[in-house]
Every structure is written in C-alpha cells, then in structure tokens.
Amino acid sequence: MLHLEIVTPDRLFLSEEIEMVIVSGIEGDLAILKDRTPITTPLRIGRVRIFQNGEEREAAVVDGYISALDNKVTIATDAAEWPDEIDVERAKAAKERAERRLANKPDGLDIARAEAALKRAINRLDLKNKY
C-alpha cells in the first residue's frame, strides 16, 4: 500500500492508504505504484485518480506538484474538489467570464491568467459531467 496525502492551502483534502494514484503531470499522465523510484514533478490543471480496494475515485486539482518517496505520496495543489463539491453554476460563470475576456481582449488583459481560469472551469465541468 501507499500513503497518499493531498493538501491544499485550505485543508488536508485526503490522507489514506491507497493502491495507486494517477495524476496529470506536465509531461502527461503519471501512475504512481508501490515501491517506485522517488520522484517530484509538477502537475497540470486536471484530475487525480485514486485506486483503493478495487474502486476508483476522482478529484479535480489545480496545478501544484506530486512527490513520491518511501511509499509516501504527497500532492500539494492550489485547489482540490470531489465531483459532489463542484458548484456547476460557479464553474459555468467562471468559464463564461474567461471566454468573454479572451474574446473581447480588453487593454491590459492577462491572457495567460484568463486561459488558466478557463481551463480550471472546464476541468471542473468535465469532472462533474462524468459523475
């Protein structure tokens, strides 16, 4: 078994024994299993898939990093939500706001920031749609 902790600035999101975790790394999906070589790598806006007792759970996360050492895995991320915690109306509003900014391109628009907001909203809506 592996011990997985997921921490955000607000809370200890998860601290459990698990079999495998799959994350969205900056270079693609990364599966972490027991007894692997130590690793620390950045995460993208995406999903964390947690496998435990033959079941899978999924959470949305925003950036951060994953670190695995001695069968302890730590994910530190800016935000994490289970599907049932995602407020669809809020995510839709965030998506529309970002889309409007990117379409109108007002002076001084921080394009990277608007694109990241759009990605966060789409990631939340996609996860919510799946469950």
User: Degrees (nearest 5) of the Cα angle 45, 112, 58?
Assistant: 10
> Residue ranges of the alpha helices (H) in the chain?
88-104, 111-130
Out of 7, 79, 102, 122, which residue is the one contacting ligand ATP (CB under 6 A)? 79
- Cβ 18 vs Cβ 53: under 8 Å: no
* Cβ count near 117 (within 10 Å): 19
Nearest distance from C-beta of residue 69 to ligand ATP, angstroms: 26
Per CB under 6 A, the segment of 36-44, 48-56, 90-98, 102-110 that binds ligand ATP is 90-98
Which string of x and - marks every residue 91-120 that binds ligand ATP (by CB under 6 A)? x--x----------------------x--x
Closest CA to 1 of 14, 16, 22: 16
Nearest distance from C-beta of residue 54 to ligand ATP, angstroms: 28
Nearest distance from C-beta of residue 64 to ligand ATP, angstroms: 11
The Cα–Cα gap between 129 and 74 comes to: 27
Out of 17, 56, 85, 115, which residue is the one contacting ligand ATP (CB under 6 A)? 85
Residue ranges in contact with ligand ATP by CB under 6 A: 10, 62, 79, 81, 85-87, 90-91, 94, 117, 120, 124
